[in-house]
Structure 1
Amino acid sequence: MTQPIGSASDAIYGIHADALRVNRDRLSVLAANLANADTPNYKARDIDFRQVLAGVSNGGLTMARSAGSHLSGTATAAAGVVYRQPLQPSADGNTVDASQEQARFAEAATRYRASLDFANGRIQSLMLAITGGR
């Protein structure tokens, strides 16, 4: 379950909690692109990481709800999903370029790992402060 922005974890993890969520969502979108590389009329999508993360960290990102029963107060990158302009669309209308998708997926995975390492370092520092190195 996604935690609401502004939760207690923000004080511990800082921006890295939001970065992990945004990168997780971006990895999911890119994986869907790769999975649909041969699907006719599939349109490649992506998430503008910087734009979404800036909106999340400034408290300016709000999710549109398609039904009143949907959760509010949580922010994910879903609001920042955009269709990518193809460099060379295929004859069947598919706009996925597998090599570009693989490169973007590798970049997003590297960013995710970096945020995870920073968050883990923060926890280790707090544990060291709490235990006094014992």
Structure 2
Amino acid sequence: MDLFGGTIRNLENGLSYATLKNKAISQNIANVDTPNYKTKEVSFKDVFNDVKKDSISAYRTDARHYDFKMEIGGNGVYSNNFRSRPNGNAVNMDAEQAKLAENTIYYNALIDRISSKFSTLNNVVKGGR
């Protein structure tokens, strides 16, 4: 039995994803002048698969229903081999800053949601006072 219906766990997993993505973006920005540096990207699909302990399969109520399975992927971080500058560096600073801003908004939205969830739980524990 999950006490909170999985909501807090899902928000925690979302925060872990946003943190991993922020780390990859920060490394890209920090290495903007490093020759032959390849940008790192975070794949939501791979991170999602890593969160699951086993593969996900469909619950079929009829033999005619399609069955599907999702396989567990890597660690969610992969390198981009695109080269945009003569020194072999693949970091596009404008794109990385835009990704960082988008990820920051996503992270803050998750923080607001989990804070609201804890506030509601606190209110219930205190009996509405």
On whether the aligned pair clears a TM of 0.5, the verdict is yes
Residue 81 of structure 1: aligned partner: 77
Q: How does 1:1-134 map to 2 (within 5 A)?
A: 11=6, 13-49=8-44, 51-60=45-54, 79-86=75-82, 89-134=84-129
List runs of 5+ in structure 2 lacking aligned partners: 56-73
Superposed displacement of residue 120, structure 1: 0.7
Relative distance call for 1:35 and 1:60 in structure 2 (3 A) is farther
Report the AA paired with residue 90 of structure 2. T
Distance 1:131 1:96 in 2: 51
Moved over 6 A (4+): 7-10
Distance 1:54 1:109, change over 3 A: same
Relative to structure 1, the CA distance from residue 132 to residue 53 in structure 2 (aligned partners, 3 Å threshold; closer, same or farther) is farther
Secondary structure of the 1:27 match is helix
- Structure 1 stretches lacking a partner, 5+ long: 1-6, 62-77
The answer as to whether partners of 2:29 and 2:96 remain within 8 angstroms in 1 is: yes
